[in-house]
Amino acid sequence: MTRYLPLAALALATVLATVARAQQPVTKDAPAVAAARSIGTTPTAAAARLFVDSVERRLDALSVTVNQAEWVAATYITDDTEALSADAQQRYDAAAQRFALAARRFDGVTVPPDLRRKLTLLKLAFTAPPPSDPAKGAELVRLTTGMEGAYGRGTYCRRGALGQPAATTGDSTCYQINDLSRALAESHDPAVLLDAWRGWHAIGAPLRPKYERFVALSNEGARELGFADLGAMWRANYDMPADQFPREVERLWKQVEPLYVALHAYVRTRLNQQYGDAVVAKDGMIPAHLLGNMWAQEWGNVYPIVAPPNASPTYDLTALLKAKNVDAKGMAKYAEGFFTSMGFAPLPATFWERSMLVKPRDREVVCHASAWTIDNKNDVRIKACLEPTADDFVTIHHEEGHNFYQRAYSSQPYLFQNGANDGFHEAIGDAIALSITPGYLQQAGLLATPPSAAADTALLLRQALDKVAFLPFGLMIDQWRWGVFSGAIKPSEYNKAWWDLRARYQGVVPPVARSEADFDPGAKYHVPANTPYMRYFLARVLQFQFYRAMCRAAGHTGPLYRCSFYGSKEAGAKLARMLEAGQSKPWQETLYEMTGERDMDAGAMLEYFAPLKAWLDRQNAGHPVGWTPRTATR
């Protein structure tokens, strides 16, 4: 390992060498070099300002190259595009890592709050900081790019239809994640569900040694920046002491746990009635392949099985979209229309020209939906493989929420161009999606007549199957990674620890025994792509706080779950102020200005689902509630 002396003791030549090692032509680093030269041997506030301003300009320029290369690699997967993306990312990471190390020189200097915040954010900018050794840094980038590409190419091939005995002759049929997810969403045949689940999860095993090496390298980079490990670095990014953050998320979980446990018990009972004791025990954990989603993270697809008996008629948004012949672009237009109804400017023409909204027929792509800003200004895009379904209708609102956020804070300095915390970024579009009420669908021309109030329980249940069911999954992924990064979870226990956490928090068990020959975390995009996941758990809480604040601004009265602020310029103005602030101040201040609350709190979510919780408790009377965690690995 390369050993670094404390930066406060570095001479000018060392700082210059640090900057010059960034893998770009030296002339392009001239501003940063000039800033480094001005530092001299005595760090000052003026030198810190000059340094940060120069670094921001340099990283801004480098990031555009990275964004362009990563876009091509994700929308046209080949060995060449992966290599180009890895090279661009390595150049950015090398420069950013050198600058982050140099920023430590100013740790003891008194500087204005905004400058101190930038210096801190510069050190926290990585999801996987590269080691200073150039060879190791290049290896880390190749690993991360390669793992994401391998996930995107993931395929399950077999002779014969899903769920049927394998044929001995004939061509194989190959399935990718969209195909297998569709089978899990639509089939009620346990054999088909198991085949699809097991086929996709097999893609994780080859990633295991790569992930283990990734952990070692990224931890090395994090330690060079002064953190105990990569997990500690991630937790330091929430405007609170890093050791306080796990307690904060556990506090939020304890608020919502009773609601989740009640939902779990109700769904388990209905699945038991559907499939029988041999498939789903009345009082145990739920097999992961039966919940309508590859990772059992959202359960909305099992609604037809668990719908309230004799429920008043509601509506099928997927059927409504298909009846109107709404395609992927049409769904994106509906989402854009919601934001423009609140006073936001339309998306630029380049969004429609450059986004990938459907899966191309001629090449491999990463279908996992994501929102991009290419130039950190107005070139915003979405990469997705949308289909005209209710789930994707929500997804496109979520992703455009990122785009509108990116545009709103584009006038901020580079280091402030982000969400107040990463949960904010995820929560924006979801808060908008909570406004996809029957009333809104009628306004948008998708629904002729909204269902009566008697259907409210059914609508709330359908919403909870996604919003509430997701909570423990959103919590446990980074719980697992924190343990992996710290060494508390050894490589020999990767899979066991994964399923132990899922048992503890979700009450979910794999449908077949798993072993350490498997690597089921690798079958979830965010693990090989190294995307921190706690943001999604926080977003599930924050979106209801944002939603309630905008409903109040819109003058809504009545039950919270019936609110839609579509067309409310007052709600839009409140939202715009929050988005424009970016990451320029602690999230607690931004949250207070938006909601009047300084803490993340699940109270708004509990208010939204209060009628459903009372109904679930009545349904669960006389049935087992809760589960005893047990391992399913050997």
Catalytic residues: 399, 526
In a 10 Å sphere around its CB, with 0-12 CB exposed, 13-18 middle and 19+ buried, how is residue 563 labelled?
Answer: buried
CB proximity list for 274: less than 8 A, separation 6 or greater: 188, 280, 305
Q: Of 570, 566, 575, 563, which Cα lies nearest the Cα of 338?
A: 566
Question: Token pair 């700082």 is at which residue?
Answer: 15
Identify the sign of the CA torsion 48, 50, 55, 57: positive
Binding residue per annotation — 264?
A: no
Q: Is-contact 565 553, C-beta < 8 A?
A: yes
Q: Of 280, 471, 300, which Cα lies nearest the Cα of 288?
A: 280
| DSSP secondary structure of 506-571 | H-EE-SS-B-TT--GGGGSTTTTTT---HHHHHHHHHHHHHHHHHHHHTT--S-GGG---TT-HHH
Return the amino acid letter for 555: G
Q: Return d(Cα 560, Cα 608) in angstroms, integer.
A: 6
Beta strands 173-175 and 286-287 are: unpaired
Q: Of 24, 494, 536, which Cα lies nearest the Cα of 214?
A: 494
Q: Return d(Cα 281, Cα 264) in angstroms, integer.
A: 13
Backbone φ, ψ for residue 315 (5° rounding): -145, 160
End-to-end CA, the chain: 36
Q: Return d(Cα 307, Cα 271) in angstroms, integer.
A: 11
| Distance, C-alpha 608 to centroid of its chain | 23
Q: Where are the alpha helices (DSSP H) in 366-511?
A: 390-408, 422-433, 438-443, 456-467, 471-486, 494-506
Return the amino acid letter for 548: R
Q: Is-contact 556 434, C-beta < 8 A?
A: no
Q: What 3-state class would DSSP assign to 610?
A: helix
In a 10 Å sphere around its CB, with 0-12 CB exposed, 13-18 middle and 19+ buried, how is residue 515 labelled?
Answer: exposed
Q: Where are the alpha helices (DSSP H) in 154-238?
A: 177-186, 190-201, 208-224, 230-235
Binding residue per annotation — 623?
A: no
Question: Token pair 């899979």 is at which residue?
Answer: 495
Q: Of 437, 480, 20, 476, which Cα lies nearest the Cα of 215?
A: 480
Q: Is-contact 341 567, C-beta < 8 A?
A: yes
CB proximity list for 276: less than 8 A, separation 6 or greater: none
Q: Return d(Cα 456, Cα 314) in angstroms, integer.
A: 9
Binding residue per annotation — 298?
A: no
Backbone φ, ψ for residue 225 (5° rounding): -90, 0
Q: Containing H/E element for 286?
A: strand 286-287
C-beta neighbour count of 424 within 10 angstroms: 27
Binding residue per annotation — 397?
A: no
Q: Return d(Cα 576, Cα 581) in angstroms, integer.
A: 9
Q: What is the Rg, in whole angstroms, of the alpha carbon atoms belonging to the chain?
A: 25
Binding residue per annotation — 402?
A: yes
Numbered residues of the known binding site for Zn(2+): 398, 402, 426
Specify binding-site residues for chloride: 238, 535
Binding-site residues, in ranges, read 238, 398, 402, 426, 535
